[in-house]
């Protein structure tokens, strides 16, 4: 009986310490997400096109900094944009992420689009392109969503999504 009480006490103390640490860490993490965009927004009025637009019409679009995109998601949601971002990946999916602007955006591309897949694999030097960060300029559809949280996949948990339609530049990130 004494062993059970000791184990329960240790478990309760561990839970209380973990809860206390999380309650201190989460507000600090939220404060760092409000980082200003290091680059100013483009001077042109045309920064995105409707999703039904032909991809040839995106050639003249300015290249948005990733921070501009995620700091103004309502402006670009459901639009096709050109963006400069760093692609990273892990077991739960691919994402755009920058240290100066730590909002995660889930990334996907058409499964039948070999041009996108081959450009990413060539830049990474491997068909497993999510393991090393890639510096990209891509054209794609951006969306702000309410995550479904149906699984732990990034596509289900991230509040922002980017669907790559064309890769313009892909190199290993420095």
Q: Where are the alpha helices (DSSP H) in 48-169?
A: 66-71, 73-76, 114-124, 154-157
Q: What is the pLDDT of residue 71?
A: 93
- Terminal-residue alpha carbon distance, the chain: 58
DSSP-derived secondary structure letter, 117: H
Average of pLDDT values for 105-122?
A: 86
Closest-CA residue to 81 (of 94, 93, 96)? 96
Domain map (residue ranges) of the chain: 1-32, 49-172
Q: Among candidates 142, 143, 135, which has minimal Cα distance to 84?
A: 135
Residues 50-94 pLDDT 10s: 544 456 556 678 999 999 999 999 999 999 999 999 999 888 889
φ/ψ (deg, to 5) at 123: -65, -40
pLDDT band of 146, cuts 50, 70, 90: very high
Phi/psi of residue 71, each to 5°?
A: -80, -15
Backbone angles phi, psi at 14, to 5 degrees: -60, -45
Under DSSP, is residue 7 helix (H, G, I), strand (E, B) or coil?
A: helix
CATH classification for the domain delimited by 49-172, as one of 3.30.1490, 1.10.760, 2.40.50, 3.40.1350: 2.40.50
The DSSP call for residue 60 is T
Coil/strand/helix, residue 149:
coil
Distance, in Å, from the CA atom of 123 to the CA atom of 30, rounded to the nearest integer, reads 33
Burial class of residue 120 in the structure, from the number of CB atoms within 10 Å of its CB (0-12 exposed, 13-18 middle, 19+ buried): buried
DSSP H/E element including 142: strand 134-144
Q: pLDDT band at residue 48, thresholds of 50, 70 and 90? A: low
User: Is a pLDDT exceeding 50 seen at residue 169?
Assistant: yes
């Amino acid at each position: 009986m004494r062993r059970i009480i000791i184990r329960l006490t240790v478990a309760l103390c561990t839970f209380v310490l973990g809860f206390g640490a999380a309650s201190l860490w989460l507000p600090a993490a939220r404060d760092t997400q409000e980082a200003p965009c290091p680059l100013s927004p483009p001077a042109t009025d045309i920064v995105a096109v409707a999703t039904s637009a032909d991809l040839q019409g995106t050639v003249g679009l300015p290249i948005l900094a990733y921070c501009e995109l995620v700091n103004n998601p309502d402006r670009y949601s459901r639009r096709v944009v050109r963006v400069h971002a760093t692609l990273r990946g892990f077991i739960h999916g691919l994402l755009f992420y920058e240290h100066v602007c730590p909002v995660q955006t889930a990334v996907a591309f058409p499964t039948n689009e070999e041009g996108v897949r081959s450009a990413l694999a060539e830049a990474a030097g491997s068909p497993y392109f999510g393991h090393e960060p890639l510096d990209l300029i891509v054209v794609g559809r951006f969306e702000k969503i309410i995550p479904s949280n149906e699984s732990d996949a990034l596509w289900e948990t991230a509040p922002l999504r980017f669907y790559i339609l064309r890769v313009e530049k892909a190199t290993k990130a420095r």
